[in-house]
Structure 1
């Protein structure tokens, strides 16, 4: 099977919902559904999260990040962390665990390195998207954070299957965009139950449709993707840096500019991206 046939095969599987997920993902998806239950209160959520050490540690780290800890008072337990960040941010953290579990079975060192870089890229996009949503596009910051975390979930899935198809990630970027990003990505987002509002924004980002100044969630994601300090290993733009992108798309916002907002929010973005790791 050549590369194009392999992509088409994965895309066909995704469109039918026949996706191969790691076994540990089932437990996390059950946790996600439990937290989504309207009757789930803070005490119940804390018990559920404490049963997942990675999620528990990440919840406390996020609660103590600059983005959420304005007072400087450090939190040391899951219950207090949930009270501070809220259920919507908690759901974004569960999504982060789900995305990382997709690449858990990768053994090839090169693919492992790509997956690690892809996650660092995703955390930067998520942190930037939250800031941009709050201060530039005035869309919902929690939704932007969630969208940033899951925007490369199709790429993680393809990486998780790449060892089955040698040479899958070689060749022209156009094939990756058509089959890997769009077809497979859409299927994985659907299988994971990502809301249509977020899926639509991610698809807008795939197609590069951005308004200036940015206004929508899709604009927010695309701008964050352009500005992320860590590039995606699957969408490398030769010679491009976050500083060059910012200079290219800088614009006036009120009495300031995009660049001034990025400068003011640099520590917040760094702290939030680090906590997501």
Structure 2
């Protein structure tokens, strides 16, 4: 099977919801579903998090990041961390765990390197999305963080399957964009039961059109993607990187309100971005 046929085959299976996840991902999906239950309160969420040592450590670290620790008071317990973050932000922490677990089963060194770069790109987009939402577009920051974490989940799924199709990623990035990105991405997002508003925002990212100044969740995600200093290894050729940098430069020059520019706002929020980025990447 040539790589284009392989893309189409994986995309067709994804479209039908016939997706194969590692066992650890399935466990995290059950946790995500429990957190999505409207009746899941802080105490129940804390107990669920405490059952997973890695998730517990991540939750406490993110709760102590500058983006969420406005008081400067460090906390050490999972229960207090969950109280500070809230269930909705906790869903983003679990989503980050799911995305990283998709790459955890990769053994090929080349694919591992791609997965590591893709996660670094994802973390930059997620951290920037959270800050841009809160300070610029005024959309829900928790949703923006979640959208940033999930925007490349289709790519992670592809990498987790790539070893089954030798030569799948040997071609130009444009082939992934044309034959796999949207179809596989939509299938994985649907399987993970990602809310429609987030799926629509990620769809805006695939379409590549945003308003200036940015206004919507889709604009937030697009702008964060433009500004991310680490490119996706799946869909950015040197020419695409040049286009992205040019778009980012135009966005940085735009006015936000009457007396601020995007660049000045992001400069002021850099500590928040870097703090959140640190706990997401490591």
- What is the TM-score of this pair, normalised by structure 2? 0.94
2:133/2:220 contact within 8 Å kept = yes
- Runs of 5+ unmatched residues, structure 1: none
Instruction: Report the CA distance shift for 1:177/1:244 in structure 2 as closer, same or farther (over 3 A).
Output: closer
Task: Give the distance between the partners of 1:245 and 1:262, measured in 2 at CA.
Answer: 16
Cα distance, 1:262 vs structure 2: 1.1
Task: Give the distance between the partners of 1:246 and 1:172, measured in 2 at CA.
Answer: 23
The CA RMSD over aligned residues, in Å, is 1.5
What residue in structure 1 maps to residue 210 of structure 2?
210
Task: Give the distance between the partners of 1:209 and 1:242, measured in 2 at CA.
Answer: 12
Instruction: Report the CA distance shift for 1:242/1:261 in structure 2 as closer, same or farther (over 3 A).
Output: farther
Q: Comparing 33-42 with 194-203, which one deviates more in the overlay?
A: 33-42
Q: Comparing 263-272 with 234-243, which one deviates more in the overlay?
A: 234-243
1:17/1:191 contact within 8 Å kept = yes
Cα distance, 1:125 vs structure 2: 0.3
Cα distance, 1:245 vs structure 2: 4.9
What residue in structure 2 maps to residue 71 of structure 1?
71
What residue in structure 2 maps to residue 197 of structure 1?
197
- Runs of 5+ unmatched residues, structure 2: none
| Alignment coverage as a number of residue pairs | 277
What residue in structure 1 maps to residue 250 of structure 2?
248
1:120/1:230 contact within 8 Å kept = yes
What residue in structure 2 maps to residue 260 of structure 1?
264
2:176/2:235 contact within 8 Å kept = no
What residue in structure 1 maps to residue 154 of structure 2?
154
Task: Give the distance between the partners of 1:61 and 1:242, measured in 2 at CA.
Answer: 31
Residue aligned with 1:186, SS: helix
2:172/2:237 contact within 8 Å kept = no
Task: Give the distance between the partners of 2:84 and 2:272, measured in 1 at CA.
Answer: 16
2:226/2:245 contact within 8 Å kept = no
Task: Give the distance between the partners of 2:119 and 2:109, measured in 1 at CA.
Answer: 15
Q: Comparing 207-216 with 237-246, which one deviates more in the overlay?
A: 237-246
Q: Which runs of 4+ in 1 moved over 3 A?
A: 239-246
What residue in structure 1 maps to residue 6 of structure 2?
6
- What is the TM-score of this pair, normalised by structure 1? 0.96
